[in-house]
Structure 1
Amino acid sequence: MSDAGDFIDLALQRESSWSRAEESEGRYGSGQRYYGASVGAVRATVRDALRRHPGLTHDDITALSSELWEAPVFERRLAGVVLLQSSVRLLTNTDLTRIEGFVRSARLGALVDPLAVDVVGPLIAGLDVVGRVRADSVLDRWVRDPDGWLRRAALLSPLRAFRAGAGDWSRFVRHARLVLESPPQRADVDDDDGVAAGAVSLVLAETARHRPELEF
């Protein structure tokens, strides 16, 4: 592992708690391991790592996020999400391929939702016109994918923009209708269909509170 990766992993293990690990497993399931570090500890650890390793480039950040994601440990993967959140200004539309891999392997709202809302959305908002067109084509593909978690990520990605009074509402409506009207074509992803539809409900509930003028 890299020096930064070692620092984050060891720090998270020092913050471990058996009771929190058991609580997390009960909440999120047994499909991965848990150190039992708190969300606050994960955020603080990433912040400390960025202070210890200033000047990390785009390639450094993306490589470190993949390094953290490689082991199926919830806190390591959450640290990877926080790292991308903290460095989203460095990301480009080509990084959506890496993020897609994270979403496909996460299969957990506690990881997928912040990736979509706090990484994918701001990443796309910061692109130039050409980059945004390319990124939009990626999200168009995501929302048609049989993987419900990828569909969820596409639907949640504009949520921050909607909260701020911006965003392309008509595009979201098109995506939402596609998800609601087009069931998965593969039997092995039927169980994931609800997470995509749930994303539609979440966005509609948020916009009803903050943007009541928007109609579905």
Structure 2
Amino acid sequence: MTTAASSLQSLAEVIESELRDRGTSVRATKERAYLKSDLVHYGVGVPGTRAVVATTLRGVELDHDGIVALVEALWNSTGALDDASRGTPVYECCSAATMVLIQTKDHLGAGDTDLFERLLRQSRTWALVDPLAGDAVGPLSEHDAKFAPVLERWASDDDFWIRRSALLAHLRPLREGRGDFERFSRLADAMLEETEFFIRKAIGWVLRDTARTRPEMVFDWMLPRAHRASGVTMREVVKHLSPEQRNALLAAKGTRRSRAGSG
């Protein structure tokens, strides 16, 4: 059956309630500290959150507008643990919203760019940004050319989470032996010397997973740039390369840096 718009808020409330009941204060405290989060945490892991979403939505048919309405309702769910938490967004509900987007991405497209971008800007943590960018925007952008200018714009955004999203949108296609390596490598090249950890890590992560199926391509791209790459990036890049390729990259990185330092 198709769910009426008036019922979507109720669905979001059911998901929020189930998540609250499943949570543990110990996990909530640890997770909030680990993520350095300002959100309310109920203390539910990703598998538990996914199970709640799947169970609640079983048999429910959502059209495009229904998906967006449910995502908005979940994203805007606020804490109800105590007076101090009221009005503060709930991490698990935001995570549930990302899962809804990922599960229903076949109903979404470049016309939803504003929604994706707003959620990415509001996420402020890799735990929300990465699935949104990698598992929702990534597969959509591979098959919809209208995402191309969006990713180009994101790559030069002032917000490093948006720049990270432009990189991670390439992760799944490249990992699976497809994807636009030319575009990714061009965007990554422009960010290669950034000092932001989450940018350095993202570049390394995408190159590492690309090297699972195309190590020669990754090696050939990185070799002339090894002296510009951070240690964080390089440690990821070399994980799936041959010992010879790994040693060549590390030597290039060290040699170029030594010459630059001495001159």
> 1:40-189 maps to which residues of 2 (within 5 A)?
40-52=47-59, 54-70=60-76, 71=78, 72-127=89-144, 132=145, 134-180=146-192
User: Conserved in 2, the CA contact under 8 Å of 1:15 and 1:38?
Assistant: no
What is the TM-score with the length of structure 2 in the denominator? 0.72
Q: What is the alpha-carbon distance in structure 1 between the residues aligned to residue 158 and residue 26 of structure 2?
A: 36
Letter in 1 for 2:34: R
User: Conserved in 2, the CA contact under 8 Å of 1:120 and 1:157?
Assistant: yes
Q: What is the alpha-carbon distance in structure 1 between the residues aligned to residue 119 and residue 142 of structure 2?
A: 20
1:213 is aligned, of 189, 213, 216, to 216
Q: What is the match of residue 201 of structure 1?
A: 204
Let me know the Cα RMSD of the aligned residues. Answer: 1.6
Q: CA-to-partner distance for each residue in 1:115-157, whole Å, 9 max, x for gaps?
A: 1110001112343xxxx1x211011000010110000011011
Q: What is the alpha-carbon distance in structure 2 between the residues aligned to residue 161 and residue 30 of structure 1?
A: 30
User: Conserved in 2, the CA contact under 8 Å of 1:162 and 1:207?
Assistant: yes
Q: What is the alpha-carbon distance in structure 2 between the residues aligned to residue 3 and residue 213 of structure 1?
A: 52
User: Conserved in 2, the CA contact under 8 Å of 1:162 and 1:211?
Assistant: no
What is the TM-score with the length of structure 1 in the denominator? 0.88
Q: What is the alpha-carbon distance in structure 2 between the residues aligned to residue 58 and residue 173 of structure 1?
A: 33
Residue 207 of structure 1 and its aligned partner are, at CA, apart by 1.8
Task: List gaps (5 residues or longer) in structure 1.
Answer: 184-189
Residue 173 of structure 1 and its aligned partner are, at CA, apart by 0.6
Higher Cα Rg, which structure:
2
Does residue 30 of structure 2 align to residue 4 of structure 1? no
User: Conserved in 2, the CA contact under 8 Å of 1:169 and 1:214?
Assistant: no
| Structure 1 range deviating more: 142-151 or 57-66 | 57-66
Q: CA-to-partner distance for each residue in 1:28-61, whole Å, 9 max, x for gaps?
A: 1131110111211110111112215x21111111
Task: List gaps (5 residues or longer) in structure 2.
Answer: 1-7, 79-88, 222-263
Q: What is the alpha-carbon distance in structure 1 between the residues aligned to residue 126 and residue 52 of structure 2?
A: 22
Percent pairwise identity: 38
Residue 180 of structure 1 and its aligned partner are, at CA, apart by 2.5
User: Conserved in 2, the CA contact under 8 Å of 1:152 and 1:197?
Assistant: no
Residue 4 of structure 1 and its aligned partner are, at CA, apart by 1.1
User: Conserved in 1, the CA contact under 8 Å of 2:171 and 2:206?
Assistant: yes
Residue 26 of structure 1 and its aligned partner are, at CA, apart by 1.8
Secondary structure in structure 2 of the residue aligned to 1:43: helix
